[in-house]
Homo-oligomer: A and B are copies of this chain.
């Protein structure tokens, strides 16, 4: 937890700590968070509770990992905790280093401490370079490294995020040991603010939608709400509602901002269609890539159509 002298109590950002995690790396990308209080928490539930209770201004949480898929707990929390909004998106390359107590050589490493997910993502490298290593599972990436300094440590090295070198006095035995060089984790910054970030042209809109019932075509019908408006989806995850098998809600990211006419119209269609739709927010894409869509879905087309309808309803001659 880093506190600066002049921050007001409300200016606090919660994140999955401790310092050195990928989540902290995401938070470092947020200009507004610099120089404010950063509150390290143990899991996504605590992070979101900080926001709903007003203890923190916002919380950074992992929402999707290109290797691990949707971070279920985060998605379920957003679906069930009311009053939360996503206000920003951040990408952190998932890269790992192999660290050890100072003075350790790679050749000395027999046992590696690693969080199971990190272990899975570095296993190829480890098996090539340390074919005879043993693995001790850790509760988190940072703890894997921290444990090297515990009295009863049996591990010679640990798999950790690159940021660990700012927190611990470790030697880096190898860098970039992740098996997939493109691996990246997607984080979102969540707040209680109902003020929607302004439209930039490179935005995402996140929603969670419950299907009307278990009837065959309802998912198809939902997707048609987007296709008829030219709205592309960049994420579709099904999550069980939890009351019985076979009932799902869908976590979706749409290309565009709620102030884009085509997105607003698709949201109207969703709302009419679904027994439960949660608007999670519209916010700039992490990659700042302009949203592409066919010109037939331009705002002007929507506005012109409404003017046309209004003219008919008010008895004006068509033009």
A→B interface (CB under 8 Å): 64-70, 72, 82-83, 91, 137, 139, 180, 182-184, 186, 194-196, 212, 216-217, 219-221, 223-228, 230-240, 242-246, 248, 258-259, 264, 267-269, 271-273, 278-279, 296-297, 301-302, 304-306, 308-309, 312-313, 315-318
Which chain B residues border A183 with CB–CB below 8 Å? 242
Q: Is the CB of B228 within 8 A of A228?
A: yes
Q: Chain A binding site: helix, strand, loop or mixed by DSSP?
A: mixed
Q: Which of B223, B248, B269, B315 contacts A220 (CB 8 A)?
A: B223
A190 to chain B, nearest CB (A): 15
Please report the C-alpha to C-alpha distance between residue A163 and residue B139 in the assembled complex, in whole angstroms.
27
Interface centre among A184, A223, A224, A272, by most B CB within 10 Å?
A272
| Copies of this protein in the complex | 4
Please report the C-alpha to C-alpha distance between residue A83 and residue B312 in the assembled complex, in whole angstroms.
12
Which chain B residues border A305 with CB–CB below 8 Å? 268, 271-272
14 contacts between A and B (CB under 8 A): A66-B243, A67-B240, A69-B72, A69-B238, A83-B317, A184-B244, A194-B317, A216-B227, A238-B238, A258-B309, A258-B312, A264-B313, A267-B309, A268-B305
Q: Is the CB of A219 within 8 A of B223?
A: yes
Q: Is the CB of A242 within 8 A of B315?
A: no
Please report the C-alpha to C-alpha distance between residue A225 and residue B220 in the assembled complex, in whole angstroms.
11
Please report the C-alpha to C-alpha distance between residue A219 and residue B221 in the assembled complex, in whole angstroms.
12
Return the chain B residue nearest A277 by Cβ.
B308
Q: Which of B184, B279, B317 contacts A245 (CB 8 A)?
A: B184
Q: Which of B66, B237, B317 contacts A242 (CB 8 A)?
A: B66
Which chain B residues border A212 with CB–CB below 8 Å? 296
Return the chain B residue nearest A212 by Cβ.
B296
A112 to chain B, nearest CB (A): 17
Please report the C-alpha to C-alpha distance between residue A70 and residue B279 in the assembled complex, in whole angstroms.
24
Top 5 closest pairs, chain A to chain B, by CB = A271-B305, A194-B315, A69-B240, A220-B223, A216-B232
Return the chain B residue nearest A293 by Cβ.
B216
Q: Is the CB of A224 within 8 A of B230?
A: no
Q: Is the CB of A234 within 8 A of B246?
A: yes
Which chain B residues border A67 with CB–CB below 8 Å? 240, 242
A40 to chain B, nearest CB (A): 18
Which chain B residues border A318 with CB–CB below 8 Å? 82-83, 278-279
Q: Do A245 and B66 contact each other (CB < 8 Å), given the known contacts A232-B216, A236-B219, A309-B267?
A: yes
Which chain B residues border A239 with CB–CB below 8 Å? 69
Please report the C-alpha to C-alpha distance between residue A301 and residue B243 in the assembled complex, in whole angstroms.
26
Please report the C-alpha to C-alpha distance between residue A317 and residue B268 in the assembled complex, in whole angstroms.
17
Which chain B residues border A317 with CB–CB below 8 Å? 83, 194
Please report the C-alpha to C-alpha distance between residue A205 and residue B67 in the assembled complex, in whole angstroms.
26
Q: Is the CB of A65 within 8 A of B258?
A: no
Which chain B residues border A237 with CB–CB below 8 Å? 238
